[in-house]
Structure 1
Amino acid sequence: MEIEIATIGGYEEVGRQMTAVRAGDDVVVFDMGLNLSKVLIHDNVETERMHSLDLIDMGAIPDDRVMSELEGDVKAIVPTHGHLDHIGAISKLAHRYDAPIVATPFTIELVKQQIKSEEKFGVQNDLVKMEAGGTMAIGDENELEFVNVTHSIIDAINPVLHTPEGAIVYGLDKRMDHDPVLGDPIDMERFREIGREGVLCYIEDCTNAGKKGRTPSESVARRHLKDAMHSMEDYDGGIVATTFSSHIARVKSLVEFADDIGRQPVLLGRSMEKYSGTAERLDFVDFPDDLGMYGHRKSVDRTFKRIMNEGKENFLPIVTGHQGEPRAMLTRMGRGETPYELEEGDKVIFSARVIPEPTNEGQRYQSEKLLRMQGARIYDEIHVSGHLREEGHYEMLDALQPENVIPAHQDMKGFAPYVDLAEQFGLEVGETLHVTRNGKLIQLVE
């Protein structure tokens, strides 16, 4: 059977992931993501109202024209998890393909919300839920399987396309967490089984490949966060926290520790309300009944007024803005555009790291400067990554023993450490180790 892989997006940057695998006459598309930094660099861009061609020209979503060179029919569109760099282009591109969108329940719900907010295209693709551990026939000879992984968002999987020539393992994004705060541990037993059955190709996220050691568990971040927040227990001023809105496990920890130190948590910002509300509605997390979640600006400002009236020392606002996004809550607070008044000595907890990209780094720097100008004390990097480090990558290569490897989710500089590691397993650049660019085709089996 002919096996061909199109590396469409995410092979020159972190963001706008999209890869297609053709096995015989069947094609499966993995991810359709957005490069948010390409949007944020422009003022007041609303992607919902933009045409896909304009977004492609900006470098914000994948240029999928290479798909016309694949001689087969798309049978499924498979996002691995609900981060925007993996689902953010579905509302712009999925309608071009007569295929269902297949994902885990939480991811499907987020895709549904993306499609609902779309104002340019009518996306009518069927939405199919499949749990981790589930399988689905792709044509007559291939099978799709979801393997449970742990990441900085719940309900993440690595999809595997089983073909007569061996398995294609799409390995974006994960960390090797054996003690997660929410959900099940990574299913390394199944990965080892797939390795013994035979892996034709492994496509892997290289984000942290240059960092030695292993990525700590989310339970480590939880302990770090607990220590930081308990150290503030006797502070009688304002404490504000920010984290990735999609990081439900971290939001859960913030909510619990707020209660421990005698403060009422409240979630503020559109994306904070969206992700946490969706997770609670689907029973992925159990928040207190009285936890307030407010996304609309007027309701957020009303909540800030209530906090000021009843005393900042009684509340923990958990807000959007960990990357310094211009319209996020924390950025507005730093600019003095909300009723919440920051004062000398108030604490701001960044339970997130800066995404290493110039736009984010610049915006985060500006946000912190504004907060410090108002006297805020910054508690930074209370976080663990959602991506594998060097030893995690070593374990995955050892478990899968792939015949071919395609590094992804980085630029050329970011691929280099992973290439060095893969070569230790006998893979050869240009032969079995395929360092590629966006818009390229790789023929694995002719």
Structure 2
Amino acid sequence: MEIEIATIGGYEEVGRQMTAVRAGSDIVIFDMGLNLSKVLIHDNLRTEGMHSLDLIDMGAIPDDRIMNDLEGDVQAIVPTHGHLDHIGAISKLAHRYDAPIVATPFTLELVKGELEEEQKFDTDSDLIEMEAGETMTIGDEGCELEFVNVTHSIIQAINPVLHTPEGAIVYGLDKRMDHTPVIGDPIDMERFRELGREDNGVLCYIEDCTNANKKGRTPSESVAREHLRDTLYSMEDYDGGIVATTFSSHIARVKSLIEFARDIGREPLLLGRSMETYSGTAKRIGVDFPSDVEMVGYRHAIEQKLEQIMNDGKENYLPVVTGHQGEPRAMLTRMARGETPYELDEGDKVVFSARVIPEPTNEGQRYQAEKLLGMQGARVYSDIHVSGHLCQEGHYTMLEALQPQNIIPAHQDLSGFSGYVDLASDKGYTLGEDLHTTTNGNIIQLV
């Protein structure tokens, strides 16, 4: 059976992920993501009403026209998790393929929201829920799709595996090796080790290289939780304002913020549209998440809530707001510019429970936001966080477990691949033979 892999997006940047695997006449697409930085540099740009070709020209979504060179039919579109760099282009591209969208329940709910907000294209794909540990038949040529549970900075993330007669294709985006997560099950390393020993083994491993140039091991989310606990408990006696921000999609981190706010005698509030979207979705599908926290998503209602905070006393509340990357329209950035009823005073605390995504636009916006907060007198607590991506020792462990015949680094640019290439080379892989560094818009023939 011929096996080809089309590296469509996410092989020159951290973002707009999309990869297609052809096994015989059956094709599976993994991820359809957005490069959010390409959107944020345009002020007040709304993608819902834009055409896919305009977004492709901007570099905001994958250029999927390379799919015309794959001879076969798309049998499934499989987003690995709910981050926008993995699902943000589904509403723009999925309508081109007569294929179901298969994902875990939380991811599928977020995809539904993206499709409902889309104004340009109608997508009538079937939406199929599949849990980690489950499998489904793909096409008519003996292929099977499996979901392996992984841990990431969003709940219900999986690594999909396409079992083919020639061996397994493991799509390894995105994960960290967390054995003590705050929500959900630990990473299923036992299953990864089994995959490396089964039948024809692992034909190809496509790996997330976000942190491949960083030595050591990525800590567990439980480490970030204790760091956050220590930080907020240290503010227990402060009688002014405390504001926190984190990834809206990071349900485990938001849960910790809610719990620790209450521990120090403050009422947590989730403010911002994306905060309401992700946390509200988690509550709806029955995730272990506080059911009584107030969420406010729309601008006018948020302004009213901030006025209430100022009237009742900032010392009684801990608003958790959007803006961890310094996004210009986000709530925290507007607070920093003095554009909201919430007034920052000398000594007020601002907790960034997130690191900057390593991309120039984000780095510049975050720097500006922190400077503006400092000019208001705020004390900024940065990087109360652990990454959602493997560092080098995690990559070493995955290669030991899977023993893949071929490797394709992804989720970085060429300089970001260098640490992974060095590691794989030390493990006996050869660049250009079984270690395939590539760029967007290429097709790699494995069999």
Q: 2:437 aligns with which of 414, 435, 438?
A: 435
TM-score, normalization by structure 2: 0.99
Distance 2:291 2:411 in 1: 37
3-state SS of paired residue (1:128): strand
Instruction: Give the residue type in structure 1 aligned to 2:302.
Output: V
Matched, 1:410 2:412: yes
Instruction: Report the counterpart of residue 295 of structure 1 in structure 2.
Output: 297
Distance 1:26 1:160 in 2: 14
Distance 2:124 2:337 in 1: 41
Instruction: Report the counterpart of residue 227 of structure 2 in structure 1.
Output: 224
Instruction: Give the residue type in structure 2 aligned to 1:329.
Output: M
Instruction: Report the counterpart of residue 191 of structure 1 in structure 2.
Output: 192
Instruction: Give the residue type in structure 2 aligned to 1:173.
Output: D
Distance 1:178 1:318 in 2: 27
1:169-217 C-alpha deviation (Å, 9 max, x unpaired): 0000000000000000000000000010100000000000111110000
Distance 2:363 2:304 in 1: 31
Distance 2:287 2:156 in 1: 9
Instruction: Give the residue type in structure 2 aligned to 1:256.
Output: E
Residue segments in structure 2 that go unaligned for 5+ positions in a row: none
Residue segments in structure 1 that go unaligned for 5+ positions in a row: none
Instruction: Give the residue type in structure 2 aligned to 1:218.
Output: E
Query: How much has 1:288 moved relative to structure 2?
Result: 4.2
Instruction: Report the counterpart of residue 264 of structure 1 in structure 2.
Output: 267
Query: How much has 1:76 moved relative to structure 2?
Result: 0.1
How many corresponding residue pairs? 444
3-state SS of paired residue (2:304): helix
Distance 2:289 2:385 in 1: 22
Query: How much has 1:425 moved relative to structure 2?
Result: 1.7
Instruction: Report the counterpart of residue 163 of structure 1 in structure 2.
Output: 164
Instruction: Give the residue type in structure 2 aligned to 1:68.
Output: N
Instruction: Report the counterpart of residue 284 of structure 2 in structure 1.
Output: 281
Distance 1:184 1:43 in 2: 40
Q: 1:396 aligns with which of 395, 398, 402?
A: 398
Query: How much has 1:43 moved relative to structure 2?
Result: 1.3
Q: 2:324 aligns with which of 322, 325, 328?
A: 322
- The runs of at least 4 aligned residues of structure 1 exceeding 2 Å deviation read none
Instruction: Give the residue type in structure 1 aligned to 2:5.
Output: I
- Whether the 8 Å contact between 2:76 and 2:100 is mirrored in structure 1 is yes
Distance 2:277 2:48 in 1: 16
RMSD over equivalenced CA pairs, Å = 0.5
- Whether the 8 Å contact between 2:283 and 2:291 is mirrored in structure 1 is no
- Whether the 8 Å contact between 2:3 and 2:21 is mirrored in structure 1 is yes
Distance 1:12 1:64 in 2: 15
- Whether the 8 Å contact between 2:266 and 2:316 is mirrored in structure 1 is yes
Distance 2:257 2:43 in 1: 32
Distance 2:291 2:124 in 1: 36
Q: 1:366 aligns with which of 365, 368, 378?
A: 368
Instruction: Give the residue type in structure 1 aligned to 2:258.
Output: V
Distance 2:369 2:311 in 1: 25
Instruction: Report the counterpart of residue 379 of structure 1 in structure 2.
Output: 381
3-state SS of paired residue (1:202): strand
- Which segment drifts farther, 133-142 or 102-111? 133-142
3-state SS of paired residue (2:80): coil
1:394-414 C-alpha deviation (Å, 9 max, x unpaired): 000000000000000000000
Distance 1:79 1:288 in 2: 27
Distance 1:211 1:48 in 2: 36
Instruction: Give the residue type in structure 2 aligned to 1:297.
Output: R
Distance 1:68 1:397 in 2: 32
3-state SS of paired residue (1:7): strand
Query: How much has 1:286 moved relative to structure 2?
Result: 2.7
Query: How much has 1:25 moved relative to structure 2?
Result: 0.6
Distance 2:194 2:295 in 1: 43
1:349-372 C-alpha deviation (Å, 9 max, x unpaired): 000000011100111111111111
3-state SS of paired residue (1:49): coil
Matched, 1:104 2:112: no
Distance 1:119 1:83 in 2: 20
Counting aligned pairs with the same residue, the percent is 79
Instruction: Report the counterpart of residue 419 of structure 1 in structure 2.
Output: 421
Distance 1:139 1:280 in 2: 35
